[in-house]
Amino acid sequence: MTFTQRQTSPFNPTENTRTMGKGMRAAILFLLSVVVLLGLLGGRLFYLQLIEGDRNQQLAENNRIRLIAKPPERGRLFDRKGNILASSRLAHVVYLWPIAQPKEKWQPIIQRLSEVIGIPAQTILAKLEQEGYNSPNLVRVSSAISPKIVTALLEHSRELSGVQVEPEAVRYYPNGDIAAHVLGYTGEITAEELPELREKGYRPGDVLGKAGLEYAFEKMLRGEWGGQQVEVDAFGKVLRILGQKPPLAGNAVKLTIDLDLQKAVENILGDRQGGVVAMNPNNGEILAMVSHPAFDPNLFSGKISEAAWQRLQEKDHPFVNRVLQVYPPASTFKVVTMAAALESKSYSPNDVLPTYPYLDLGGFQFWDHNKAGFGTIGFYEAMAYSSNTFFGQVGMRIGEKNIAEWSHKFGYGEYSGIELKAEETKGTVPDPAWKQKVIGEPWYIGNTVNMSIGQGDVQANLLQVGMMTASVANGGFKIRPHLMLEDNDAKEWRQSLNISPTNLAALQKSLRAVFEFGTASSLSVADVTMAGKSGTAEDPPRPNHAWFTLYAPYEKPEIVVTAFAENAGGGGGSAIAAPLAVQTVEAYMKVKKQPNAPNNPSISTPVPN
């Protein structure tokens, strides 16, 4: 059988009706699909561009353009000869880039980061939330980290998207714990500090001065932040720098401290608990300020270990600057009593009084330290031997009002003016009104006797005792102690106490007598003459405190030294504190001749406001 193929004509509609219907329906469906798809795309584009256009444009830009803030290098601190006391060293710091991840993805990243760097996840999260999840700024979440942690972060980088390790200058103290209480230390802003400091341009994770001059000079040392605006690819690699503002380093500050003398005095004080301050009596420049126990401020430039923190806790208040804390000044205060007696014209320099084993007032006995008295003596002998019964009689005659008046003139009961005011305790000059208000009791004659010998409720710090000594040494001027080295005329740092020349000479002669035949006669040094006063302060039930304050050379004073040994026990000021002060003078005479540092910078430091 033969089959014949049927030929159809494309021009004959009757022959192709079924095929044509199918093609048209397919085309119509295709067109409808395209229209619907385009409508959906158009609607989405309309939503993205018009409704959320600004937000998505910002997100797109932030994924491509990154703002990398650069902290400034903190201003350096130098001693008077140009030796570096505080500078910076390069370290690595961990940052988060908030916008790199959606909010919901940060939790596992933060948890893993916490495990690597040893900072609680909640602490890291709090810093991120303070800055905000959509912030393009880097958020600092750590202090300096060890090379070991840097390596660990690199190894886990796939799990830590949005985490960056950046080089940064961190505070460094090349001399360790030397002058720790003067310099202070730096640390990160706390959550409690941040709200107030945001207004001053600080941000989460910023570092600022926490104590000492780091705190007092924060405005000068801080500097100004800079940064870079960079374009990055999908992997965060920088493609190009779009713009930059270099950070502005903080101002360098030159201090009055002499590092060589500071080190010498640190060795002289040794492990004794107490303090020593040395200053120029003519202009108030602090040459050395030592307090013990101390701490190494470098510990706070990074993450302090638990072991290091525990070691600090074992010490007795290592962060307290004992030079600026108050104690009963004891017999060093007899200088004030003598000045008040002579200036009130109740006594003349050559008056004499009998002394006794003790004064009996209302059933209370005020003993001389030798338990026998010193016979009939004048002011020079009374100061040299430190007779309590002599100055107790003087105090009863001139009254507490005169003593209080001259206490304030010398600087007691007031802030000294030093830049470390935040850490200074100004002490107490008691009087009847003060006692009634604070203690709720009337004033008794025994209070006046106690006051006249620097006991009872009289409280003073080492700096105030040094200021009093300086006033006698420099010709009767109250000086303002300071730590910033400036080229100002010395007259700007002092004011006259208007002590008569005769009475001033008597005060100087009485302090010289302490070394000539008094409580410090065994400590006279052949090549430098000194004048000063010892003191032994009661602190029941604990052991006594030991004081000694002096100036040298006697003929033309260059240095005042006040030494204090806290709860030193037996021996008193002449046996324990006096050698510390004398050795400090000897050290000063040696180191003052040493040359400046080779690269001693000339610094014009702005006055802090």
How far is it, in rounded angstroms, from Cα 321 to Cα 279? 16
Phi, psi (deg, nearest 5) at residue 504? -65, -45
One domain, residues 465 and 486: yes
How far is it, in rounded angstroms, from Cα 195 to Cα 356? 64
pLDDT given at position 54: 52
Alpha helices in 211-297 (DSSP H): 212-216, 218-222, 259-269
59-75: pLDDT as tens digits: 445 556 766 677 789 99
**What number of other Cβ atoms are within 10 A of residue 554's Cβ?**
18
Instruction: Look at 47-56, 84-93, 391-400, 550-559 and tell me which has the smallest mean pLDDT.
Output: 47-56
Helix axes 388-410, 462-473, angle to 10 degrees: 90
One domain, residues 183 and 121: no
**Residue 396 half-sphere exposure, CB side, CA atoms within 13 Å?**
14
One domain, residues 357 and 462: yes
One domain, residues 290 and 219: no
Q: Kindly tell me if the per-residue pLDDT of 434 is higher than 80.
A: yes
Residue 69 forms beta bridges with which residues?
227
Q: Which range among 195-199, 295-299, 597-601 has the greatest average pLDDT?
A: 295-299
**Averaged over 536-550, what is the pLDDT?**
95
Kindly state the percentage of the chain with pLDDT values over 70: 85
Instruction: Look at 27-36, 156-165, 313-322, 472-481 and tell me which has the smallest mean pLDDT.
Output: 27-36
**Averaged over 232-258, what is the pLDDT?**
81
One domain, residues 464 and 386: yes
Q: Which residues, at least 6 apart from 62, have a Cβ–Cβ distance to it below 8 Å?
A: 99, 134, 136
One domain, residues 274 and 244: no
The mean of the pLDDT values for the chain is 87
Q: Which residues, at least 6 apart from 493, have a Cβ–Cβ distance to it below 8 Å?
A: 283, 284, 479, 480, 482
* CATH number for position 67: 3.90.1310.10
> Closest Cα partner for 519 from 453, 576, 462?
576
Look-up of token digits 């050698």 = 579
The whole domain housing 197 covers 59-91+167-255
Instruction: Look at 364-378, 462-476, 570-584, 585-599 and tell me which has the smallest mean pLDDT.
Output: 585-599
531 contacts 402 by C-beta, under 8 angstroms: no
**Averaged over 323-344, what is the pLDDT?**
98
Instruction: Look at 229-243, 340-354, 482-496 and tell me which has the smallest mean pLDDT.
Output: 229-243
Q: Kindly tell me if the per-residue pLDDT of 239 is higher than 80.
A: no
Higher pLDDT, 176 or 310: 176
380 — pLDDT class (breaks 50, 70, 90): very high
SS3 content of the chain, % helix, strand, coil (to 5): 40, 20, 35
pLDDT given at position 67: 64
pLDDT given at position 59: 44
pLDDT given at position 140: 84
303 contacts 142 by C-beta, under 8 angstroms: yes
Distance from first CA to last CA of the chain, Å, rounded?
A: 119
Q: Which residues, at least 6 apart from 588, have a Cβ–Cβ distance to it below 8 Å?
A: 261, 278, 287, 558, 559, 561
250-292: pLDDT as tens digits: 999 999 999 999 999 999 999 999 999 999 999 999 999 999 9
| Domain count for the chain | 3
**Averaged over 439-464, what is the pLDDT?**
97
554-597: pLDDT as tens digits: 999 999 999 999 999 888 899 999 999 999 999 999 999 888 88
One domain, residues 361 and 223: no
423 — pLDDT class (breaks 50, 70, 90): very high
Instruction: Look at 263-277, 481-495, 534-548 and tell me which has the smallest mean pLDDT.
Output: 481-495
Reported for 6-9, long-range contacts at CB under 8 A and 24+ positions apart, including other chains, are none
478 belongs to a structural domain:
yes
604 belongs to a structural domain:
no
Asked which of 255, 277, 306 is the last residue of a domain, the reply is 255
One domain, residues 182 and 212: yes
608 belongs to a structural domain:
no
One domain, residues 269 and 251: no
pLDDT given at position 30: 56
The burial class, CB within 10 Å (0-12 / 13-18 / 19+), for 304 is: middle
21 belongs to a structural domain:
no
Higher pLDDT, 492 or 502: 502
300-333: pLDDT as tens digits: 887 676 777 778 787 889 999 999 999 999 999 9
Kindly state the percentage of the chain with pLDDT values over 90: 63
**Averaged over 464-477, what is the pLDDT?**
98
545 belongs to a structural domain:
yes
pLDDT given at position 566: 97
One domain, residues 179 and 149: no
Asked which of 151, 166, 181 is the last residue of a domain, the reply is 166
Higher pLDDT, 219 or 166: 219
pLDDT given at position 43: 53
1 belongs to a structural domain:
no
How far is it, in rounded angstroms, from Cα 575 to Cα 562? 14
44 belongs to a structural domain:
no
Q: Kindly tell me if the per-residue pLDDT of 17 is higher than 50.
A: no
One domain, residues 578 and 467: yes
Asked which of 114, 149, 166 is the last residue of a domain, the reply is 166
39 belongs to a structural domain:
no
One domain, residues 363 and 422: yes
pLDDT given at position 18: 45
